[in-house]
Amino acid sequence: MNNNEFPFNHFFSQNISSKPKENNGFSKRQSIKSLNTDSHKFPSPQLKPESQYSSKDLELLSSEIKNFLKSNISPLKYSLYFQKTFTVSRITEKEVFFNVQSNYVKNQIEDSFLDIITKSINDILGLDLKLIFVVNEKPEQSPTVSVEGSNRLQDSLPELPQKLKSVKEATFKLNLTPTKEDLQDNAESRYLKHLEGDNQNLIIDPRKTFDNFIIGPSNNMAFVTMKAVAEEPSRPNQPGRYPSIYIYSNSGLGKTHLLHSVANKIFEKYPELNLCLITAREFMKEMIVSIQNNTLGSFQKKYSEKIDILMIDDIHELENKHGTQNEFFHIFNELHNKGKQLIFTSDKPPKEINGIAERIRTRLQWGLVIDIQKPDFETRMAILKKKAYELDLFISDDIISTIANNIKTSIRELEGSLIKLSAYSEVMKVDIDMEMVKELLVLNDNTGDKRITLEHITRTTAQFYKITLADIKSKTRTKQITNARHIAMYLSQKVINSKLQEIGKYFSGRDHTSVMHAIKKVKSSLKTDLALSRQIVEIENSL
C-alpha cells in the first residue's frame, strides 16, 4: 500500500515527534526488531492517547494489516492463522494488541510470523511497537459474518426465541434401552466408516507416520523410497534422489498412509516448505471453481509458483477430464523444471490408465514407478496385532491367524475386521471367540493352514517358475531349478512350519542340513533382493 494514501488522521495527532525512539531490548517473541524500510517511509508519528481510538480506527488498521499479510504469505497459512479472528484490539504508545483465535494460533504466530507482522505495521504506520497477542475468549462468530464487523452485527441481532426443552423433557425422550438391532447397526457403522477410507478430504493425519507403518516384502521398496524423499525432498538448486515418484496398488494397501507419513516428516524437518497433499478429484473441483470465479490465474500461480512439494492421491481419477489434464500438464512441467518434488499415487500403473493424454502418461513415468503388492501372511499377522493393540482388544493368536488366512487383499479390510469385532464386543457386551469371529466376518472354514500342505506349496512354486513338480523335487542342480527348490523349502517352513527332516525327505531324501542351508540362503537374499521378495509374496498369496 502507498503510505501517502493511508488515513493517518484516524490514528495520530497532528504533532510529529522528533524525539528518537528508545530501544526496549525485548526478545524476538516479545518485541519488534528494527527493520530497514524504504527511504520514502513516513517519519515515526506520535500516537494519540489510547482512549481516542474508535472501533472504526481499529477495524481499519486490522483490515490493512490483513491485506498486507494476505499478499505476502501463502493462502493456506493466511486462512489457518489470520482469516478468522486476527484483529487489532487496542493500541498504546508502545504496544499493539491483537486478538487471536486460540493458544495454538498464538504460538504459531509468535514462532513464525513476528517479522512479517512487524513489517506490516512499519509499512502502514511507520512505527516500531511491541506486539501482544491475546486469545479471543468470545465465542466464535458465524462463518457468514466478517471478522471486522462481527461485534457490531452481533449487537444488532435480534434475541432468539427460547425454545429449549426442560431437563425433564429432554431426559424423558432419551433412548436408554436400544434394541439389539440398534447395537448391531452401531457396530456395523464403525466398520463401514473405516472401509470408506480417509482420503476423501486429505487433511494430513498426524497419526500416520513411518514409525507405525508395518513393513513387509510387499511394500518395503515403497517405504524405503518415500522415507528417503521425506528426509531429502527435491528442491530448486537442491535436487533429491527421486524428484518424481509414482506409486500404485490396489485400494487399501497403504498408499495414503505413506503420503501422510511423508507430509508429517517434511512438516517436522522442513517447516519452511509449502506442501500440498490433495486428491485428483479435489484438484479438479478447485480448478472448476477457479474458472467459475474467473480466478484461474490465481489457481495456476498457486500450484506452479507457491507450492514446493505436490502430492496427488488417486491420479487416475483424471481419466477423461481433458481440461483438468491440460492444467495438470503445465503445472507438472513448471514444478519439474524448477526441481520441485512430485509424488503421485494410483490404483494402476500409468500405462493402464485409460482416457489420459499420452504426454501426461509419459510424464508420470519419468520418475520412479513402484508397485505395492498384497501383504504376505507374516505382514498380515503383524498388522492385525498392531491394530488389536491400538484398539486395546484382547484376541487370541488362533483368531488372528484365522483372519490373516482369510483376508489377503486389503490392509484396510484387515484392520476393519478388528474394528468390527471390537465394536460388536463393546456394544453387545460379549467376549470375542472363534464362533463369533467366523459368524461376523463370514470366514471360510476351509481357508487356513490345514489345507496347505508341503506338496501344495511345492506345486505352486513350480508353477510360478514354470518348471515341473518332478524337476523341483529331483536332485537336478541347474540354477533355475535350484532357486525354485530353495524357495519351496523356505515357504514350507514359513507357512506351515514343516520340520527340516520332513522337508528333506519330501525333496528326494535330502539331509536336514541341506534344507537348513537352503532356507538360510533365501532369508539372506531377501534382505537385499526386492525382486525375490515380491516373487515370494506372489507365491504365498497364490497358496
Question: Mean of the pLDDT values across residues 93-119?
Answer: 82
**What pLDDT was estimated at residue 60?**
86
Confidence bin at 111 (pLDDT 50/70/90)? confident
**What pLDDT was estimated at residue 299?**
93
Helix, strand, or coil (residue 131): strand
pLDDT tens for each residue of 300-351: 999 999 999 999 999 999 999 999 999 999 999 999 999 999 999 998 899 9
pLDDT tens for each residue of 192-245: 555 555 444 457 888 899 998 989 888 999 999 999 999 999 999 888 889 999
Residue 63's nearest CA partner among 9, 140, 120 is 120
Question: Mean of the pLDDT values across residues 389-411?
Answer: 87
What is the C-alpha to C-alpha distance for residues 483 and 517, in angstroms, rounded to an integer? 12
Domains within the chain, CATH numbers bracketed: 3-148 (3.30.300.180), 220-371 (3.40.50.300), 377-443 (1.10.8.60), 452-542 (1.10.1750.10)
Judge whether 357 and 239 are in contact, CB under 8 Å. Answer: no
**What pLDDT was estimated at residue 163?**
45
Judge whether 211 and 257 are in contact, CB under 8 Å. Answer: no
Q: Report CA-CA distances (Å) from 301 to 272, 278, 297.
A: 19, 17, 6
Angle at 221 between CA 216 and CA 222, to 5 degrees: 95
Q: Report CA-CA distances (Å) from 402 to 255, 396, 414, 415.
A: 25, 10, 11, 14
Confidence bin at 104 (pLDDT 50/70/90)? low
| DSSP state for residue 462 in the 8-state scheme | H
The three cell numbers locating residue 127: 512505527
DSSP string for residues in 212-235: TPPP-TTTHHHHHHHHHHHHS--B
**What pLDDT was estimated at residue 157?**
40
pLDDT tens for each residue of 40-73: 333 344 455 554 567 787 888 888 888 888 888 8
pLDDT tens for each residue of 285-296: 999 999 999 999
What is the C-alpha to C-alpha distance for residues 320 and 303, in angstroms, rounded to an integer? 21
Angle at which helix 479-496 crosses helix 530-542, to 10 degrees, equals 60
What is the C-alpha to C-alpha distance for residues 7 and 11, in angstroms, rounded to an integer? 8
Helix, strand, or coil (residue 75): helix
| DSSP state for residue 114 in the 8-state scheme | H
What is the C-alpha to C-alpha distance for residues 97 and 102, in angstroms, rounded to an integer? 15
Judge whether 343 and 229 are in contact, CB under 8 Å. Answer: yes
**Quick one: what percent of the chain has pLDDT higher than 70?**
76
Confidence bin at 81 (pLDDT 50/70/90)? confident
Residue 286's nearest CA partner among 303, 311, 274, 273 is 303
Residue 417's nearest CA partner among 401, 430, 403 is 403
Model confidence at 540: pLDDT above 70 = yes
Residue 130's nearest CA partner among 38, 47, 15 is 47
pTM listed for this prediction = 0.51
pLDDT tens for each residue of 137-168: 443 333 333 333 333 334 434 444 444 444 34
Q: Which residue has the cell 520418475?
A: 367
pLDDT tens for each residue of 470-514: 889 988 889 999 999 999 999 998 888 888 988 998 898 888 889
Confidence bin at 450 (pLDDT 50/70/90)? very low
**What pLDDT was estimated at residue 24?**
38
| DSSP state for residue 449 in the 8-state scheme | G
Model confidence at 28: pLDDT above 50 = no
Residue 133's nearest CA partner among 174, 170, 176, 85 is 85
**What pLDDT was estimated at residue 89?**
87
Q: Report CA-CA distances (Å) from 83 to 36, 62, 78, 122, 153.
A: 27, 11, 6, 21, 18
User: Which phi and psi (to 5°) does residue 368 adopt?
Assistant: -85, 125
**Quick one: what percent of the chain has pLDDT higher than 90?**
32
**What pLDDT was estimated at residue 447?**
45
Element (H, E) at 400: helix 397-406
Confidence bin at 109 (pLDDT 50/70/90)? confident
Is the C-alpha dihedral spanning 373, 222, 495, 505 positive or negative? positive
**What pLDDT was estimated at residue 90?**
85
What is the C-alpha to C-alpha distance for residues 121 and 33, in angstroms, rounded to an integer? 12
Helix, strand, or coil (residue 44): coil
Start-to-end C-alpha separation, the chain: 71
